[in-house]
Amino acid sequence: MSIRNTTIGPEPLARREAVRADPVQRHRRMVEIRAAEERIREFHSSGQAWGTTHCADGQEAVAVGIAAAARPTDQVWIAHRVHGHGLALGCTLESVFAENLGRSTGSVGGIGGSFHLTETAVGLVHSFTIIGAQIAQAVGAAYAMQVQGKDDVCIAQFGDGAVNIGVFHEALNLAKIWNVPAVFVLENNQYAEFTRVDKMTPIEPLAKRGDAYDMPWAVVDGQDVEAVRLAMVDAIELARSGGGPTLLEMETYRYLGHSRSDLAAYRPEGEFDEWQSRDPITQSRNALLEAGLVTESELDAIDAEVASSIEAAAVAALAGPEPETSAMFNNVLAT
């Protein structure tokens, strides 16, 4: 299988190591993700990009916290709300933009669109549009690591809607039986498409379902990037040392609708404002200032630098060539 990876040089790995090493860079990456998703919506609304798109404004701390905790050799299997996780893990802005625009310089050669990113250099195997599929895939990959005697870990990220899919239960059951090195990250953004979580799942917290499989679990403040990072560090180290899988529920909020065509009119009054008062980027900014790690002017400079890099990447992505028609047969195997 030859999944296309068009990124040249060490940049993805350098981007990944930056968020692993430095809380200021973690803040910068969250700012970048928020701005990138806004630009992606502009691509789609202007007709420059095709299909629909699913953004995760408000959920940046989860993506960056995972990337900050995992090693680049660990594998991350993610769902279709992919841009933030891809950028957090090290995908370049240009490769993410180009994939949305259907250009051959995109993450998978411009044939995946908004839903699919791959960056094997930093452990991003692929993103999945079938709800819950990546949970089982991650268990299989973790089992392979175990059999091969590696000390790497597989991380499966999925949404609150996936906990009611059969594969969630099957995968967690098998993961515990085999005691595979896996971390299951339940990104609870409060809505599965258009349905609020308390309308479709009878228990809370959702992570309590880990009890059914004798699996350790925890609920984490998904608006706090450092809380996410520390919880992930503990779960990853448990898995890496042979302690088996953990289920982590990241409590966060989806600012926008399910897709760009969804205005989210179903949300109760005041809910958005309540969550926005704990915006992950604002909280990160305040925490860095309180710790004396940056000044207001340095944070403003980060905002300006990110805005400039967004536009430069957009120009470069738009200049990229479209894939040849034959590209539709890439990665199609016959036996």
**222 found inside a domain:** yes
> Which pLDDT score, from 0 to 100, does residue 6 have?
39
**283 found inside a domain:** yes
**6 found inside a domain:** no
Mean pLDDT of the 167-196 span: 95
For residues 317 and 135, give the distance between their C-alpha atoms in angstroms, rounded to a whole number: 31
Instruction: Label residues 154-188 b or e (16+ Cβ within 10 Å = b).
Output: bbbbbbbbbbbbebbbebbebbbebebbbbbbbbb
For residue 244, pLDDT beyond 60: yes
Cα 193 → chain centroid: 17
Query: Inter-axis angle of helices 60-69 and 11-21, to 10 degrees?
Result: 100
For residue 8, pLDDT beyond 60: no
Question: How many DSSP H helices and E strands does the chain contain?
Answer: 11, 8
**138 found inside a domain:** yes
For residues 203 and 174, give the distance between their C-alpha atoms in angstroms, rounded to a whole number: 22
For residue 5, pLDDT beyond 80: no
Mean pLDDT of the 158-180 span: 96
**326 found inside a domain:** no
The pLDDT-based confidence of 2 (bands split at 50, 70, 90) is very low
**242 found inside a domain:** yes
For residues 327 and 162, give the distance between their C-alpha atoms in angstroms, rounded to a whole number: 32
Mean pLDDT of the 100-127 span: 90
Q: Domain total for the chain?
A: 1
Residue 163 zone, left/alpha/beta (φ > 0; ψ -120 to 50; rest): alpha
Mean pLDDT of the 259-274 span: 88
Give 202-242 pLDDT, tens digit per residue.
Answer: 999 999 999 999 999 999 999 999 999 999 999 999 999 99
Cα 307 → chain centroid: 21
Residue recorded with tokens 């996780």: 85
Question: Which has the minimum average pLDDT: 192-196, 207-211, 329-333?
Answer: 329-333
For the chain, percent of residues with pLDDT exceeding 90: 79
For residue 3, pLDDT beyond 60: no
Mean pLDDT of the 21-33 span: 98
> Which pLDDT score, from 0 to 100, does residue 330 have?
80
CATH of the domain at 32: 3.40.50.970
Of the two residues 195 and 180, the one the predictor is more confident about is: 180
For residue 152 the two structure tokens come to 């790497």
**328 found inside a domain:** no
- Mean pLDDT, the chain, as a whole number? 92
For residue 263 the two structure tokens come to 């205005």
Residue 38: give the domain boundaries: 11-319
**332 found inside a domain:** no
Give 29-83 pLDDT, tens digit per residue.
Answer: 999 999 999 999 999 999 999 888 888 999 999 999 999 999 999 999 998 889 9
Of the two residues 35 and 258, the one the predictor is more confident about is: 35
